[in-house]
Amino acid sequence: MRGAKGARGAVAAARAGLVAPEAGRRSDALHSGAWWVWALGLATAASRTTNPLLLGLLIAVAGYVVAVRRTDAPWARSYGAFVKLGLAVIAIRLGFAVFLGSPIPGTHVLFTLPEVPLPEWAKGVRIGGRVSAESLLFALYEGLKLATLLICVGAANALANPVRLLKSLPGALYEAGVAVVVAMTFAPQLIADVQRLRKARRLRGRPDRGVRGLLQVGLPVLEGALERSVALAAAMDARGYGRTAHVPVAVRRTTAALTLGGLLGVCAGTYGLLAAEGAGFGLPVLLGGLGAALGGLWLGGRRCVRTRYRPDRWAARAWLVSGSGVAVAGLMIWAASYDPVGLRPGVIPLTTPELPLWPALSVLLGLAPAFVAPRPALPAPAKDAMSSSTNDPTDDLMNDPPKETP
């Protein structure tokens, strides 16, 4: 088994022409934060442009990295859901443009829907009416932008282990963080439950599709989810979750004062910065408040007795991965001020968007993780080879793949 796996691994490495370590092995794992920085960098870049070609390139870059670098872990399966969500966003945006009209005046009328007459007070709202090519194109660009943002977030979700990210949180926020992560894993489990119970409906002789089927399994699914949550809470409690150290009353009060005061300071400072007349005191108050809040968090961490087991290290690969994301974002922001037309192709008059050369090249920088990030292990093929070795090995190696994947 080990021989087969090793051989395949070596072949894969040779084919890729690079020596990235295997993902999943903890000592070489990439810091989860690096993936998030990379993905947010791509998302920032996407928010600066409406050029469909550039957006498509961004989606392709994110998709390619996910395809070659995601593992078999359960959280890695969320990417597909985000892609579907992105498509839904585009569809909804187009739907709005068609039925509710659009502020974009257009001359190329594609078709006219019957318009719903609305009373005088609802002036400015329009239902139905003319649908122009310009308004549709504008909606498509905007929708595509949102979809790209979602897909970037989905890529981070699929590539980074959410629990590992928790370890980078300050101690005082850890417990809240656990609650968030547990809630995040709750949704996929709920979906798995629904699928299982809908299958079970088949065993009762009821159709396993349709809305009614979904409604009927709703209650058992929720009951099951609730039970599981209670069991998990019991297990966590029995394993010491929520143990606190004894903290002197003075420290506790200082923590509360610092946190509250700091947050107030942040609010006041932000207001000062945004309002016209408070620009003078805004920045110092904001910084002071921020400092106080951070101090409160740090002091609050003293109540927490937790230690961290092997937190991810921010190593050279993490710098490269996060750096590529930051570079894409930075170059795109710079390009947006340098070449605004290329990044925001006009819809009036209708023009064919062109691919601006330099921004496109800078987006390609985002591909760096596909080469430097740890590559995923290849468990499934290795397992195939292992388990079929009881038979005639040559026969299996020759026949298995084509026969079993129609």
Give the pair of three-digit tokens for residue 81.
Answer: 């859901």
Distances (CA, A) of 166 to 63, 73, 180, 240, 320: 25, 17, 10, 17, 22
**Least distance to another protein from the beta carbon of 221, Å?**
10
Site string for another protein, 85-104 (x = CB under 8 A): --------------------
Closest-CA residue to 173 (of 301, 278, 38, 271): 301
Residues numbered 232-291 forming contacts with another protein, rule: CB under 8 A: 232-243, 245
Among 208, 302, 319, 323, binds another protein (CB under 8 A): 208
Closest-CA residue to 359 (of 146, 125, 56, 96): 56
**Least distance to another protein from the beta carbon of 200, Å?**
4
SS3 121: helix
| Residue 220 is a binding residue for another protein (CB under 8 A) | yes
| Residue 24 is a binding residue for another protein (CB under 8 A) | yes
Residues numbered 374-403 forming contacts with another protein, rule: CB under 8 A: 380-381, 383-384, 387-388, 390, 400, 403
Residues numbered 301-320 forming contacts with another protein, rule: CB under 8 A: 305-310
User: 79 CB contacts (<8 Å, ≥6 apart)?
Assistant: 66, 70, 154, 155, 157, 158
Point out which span in 126-134, 191-199, 325-333, 366-374 binds another protein (CB under 8 A): 191-199
Closest-CA residue to 34 (of 313, 309, 310): 313
Query: Is 89 in contact with 143 (CB distance < 8 Å)?
Result: yes
Among 20, 144, 197, 328, binds another protein (CB under 8 A): 197
Of 124 and 406, which CB lies nearer to another protein in the complex structure?
Answer: 406
Query: Length of the chain in residues, anyone?
Result: 406
Of 245 and 249, which CB lies nearer to another protein in the complex structure?
Answer: 245
**Least distance to another protein from the beta carbon of 299, Å?**
17
| Residue 32 is a binding residue for another protein (CB under 8 A) | no
Of 316 and 380, which CB lies nearer to another protein in the complex structure?
Answer: 380
Element (H, E) at 112: strand 109-113
Identify residue 47 by its one-letter amino acid code: S
| Residue 25 is a binding residue for another protein (CB under 8 A) | yes
Closest-CA residue to 4 (of 378, 376, 375, 385): 385
**Least distance to another protein from the beta carbon of 71, Å?**
8
Give the pair of three-digit tokens for residue 273.
Answer: 């910065």
Contact residues toward another protein (CB under 8 A) are: 24-26, 72-75, 161, 163-164, 178, 185, 196-197, 199-208, 216-217, 219-220, 223, 228, 231-243, 245, 305-310, 380-381, 383-384, 387-388, 390, 400, 403-406
